Amino acid sequence: MKRRRSIVTSGPRARSPYAGEPRLGLRAPRNRAGGVPGTPGAPETTAGTPAPGRAAGSGPSGYARVPGGAPSPVTGSNGMPVAGPVPGIAGAAVDLSVDLAPKRPGGLVLQNPVLVASGTFGYGIEYGEVVDVQRLGAICCKGTTLKPRAGNPPPRVTETPGGMLNSIGLQNPGVDAVIERYAPLWAGWQVPVLVNVAGESIDDYVGVAQRLDGVPGVAGIELNISCPNVGKGGLQFAVDRDAAAAVTAAVRRATDLPLLVKLSPNVTDIRPIARAIEDAGADAITAINTLSGIAIDRGTGRPLLGNVYGGLSGPAIRPVGLRIVYEVAQVVSIPVVAIGGISTLDDALDYLAAGAIAVQVGTAIFADPEVPLRLVDELRAYCAARGLSSHLPLVGTALPARPGRPSAKGVEYRP
């Protein structure tokens, strides 16, 4: 297989509008002390020095925070001040670019670290008249399988407190149709598109990856391994270390495309699975996929969703996502991309502190499609207010000097 060239998506950045009333579920960005970042009284932290126990430049976690900026607020997504420029650093001078495949020749360089999650943004064209999709860091398209899938029986979606349950069932036209219908459009875009790949066997995954390899417009693959492995009685690839490593290694051999692997939160200890995926050749890890749940139809007393089980997403899963990103970032050296309940700058900052180098916005898009672009603008303003030329010094500041024990060790029940 031939070496692929670098996928770079730099270009002019327009400022997104901050108009309209606050949307349901979106809150004002707050700093750790409860204040608005960049305003008087915001606490300061250690300036520009490596975090304890980590050398500068040692990886995404080898940084510490820098002082808060001068009180020159910029209006944020809900009319609240977010941050403002400080002398020497203008918003336009902040470089938010990030490489999600630094160990792969050519890499996968995005213009900013805000992606849209698979299943929430279609194939990108559906939102073209609503937002400027070219300003996104990347698009993860709908889950794609080797053959067309009709999806699960309805009802497929229901709202829950703090989120939603979905049971779409990977409805899609199949990889050949995706290549024919959408790849030619993606090839003319500035924003890279990552194809989310799913399957029921290793051969399925490999078949999709082989078809995508070398297709203009396909910038990379995000492997959805939260699928039943028919060869192991339906056990999900994502919950078994050996199965997760095997499918990752097989896809790695099948393609030169940058490869991201998406973790399931439905496991006891995520760390050995993450390590196995890295060892098998993944370029980056995305975390997390949805949590398994059900809803009850109180009129019938039976499960509401046609498939009984659905995936829980939205703000309710953010603490779980933070915990898994925090644990994974301690044991792998490849980039971690965070997903789970992100709708505000504060949510994104929490994930960066926990070790993520980029974030994906998902369920929040259904309430307000402009959320991802607002996060780009607000993150740039936040960095400028603190004299940062990049968001990378914010990454990993919450991580310990050495890997700690996993949450599975019963820390909730200390005697």
CA angle 370, 180, 287 (to 5 degrees): 45
- Nearest residue to 261 (alpha-carbon basis) of 227, 304, 228, 292: 227
Query: Which amino acid is located at 45 in the chain?
Result: T
Q: Compute the Cα dihedral for 2, 99, 319, 333 and give only its sign.
A: positive
Residue 366 parent element (H or E): helix 364-367
121 touches 141 (CB < 8 A): yes
Q: Rounded to an integer, what distance in angstroms lies between the CA atom of residue 165 and that of residue 153?
A: 14
SS3 114: strand
For the chain, what's the residue count? 415
Q: Rounded to an integer, what distance in angstroms lies between the CA atom of residue 380 and that of residue 390?
A: 8
Specify which residues 285 forms β-bridges with.
Answer: 261, 336
Residue 98 parent element (H or E): strand 98-99
The active-site residue out of 140, 141, 227, 383 is 227
CA angle 60, 63, 67 (to 5 degrees): 135
36 touches 51 (CB < 8 A): no
- Give the pairing of strands 336-339 and 157-160: unpaired
- Nearest residue to 136 (alpha-carbon basis) of 401, 405, 359, 394: 359
SS3 348: helix
Establish whether 140 is a catalytic residue. Answer: no
Q: How far is CA 204 from CA 7, 112, 132, 237, 312, in A?
A: 26, 32, 34, 13, 26
Catalytic site positions: 227
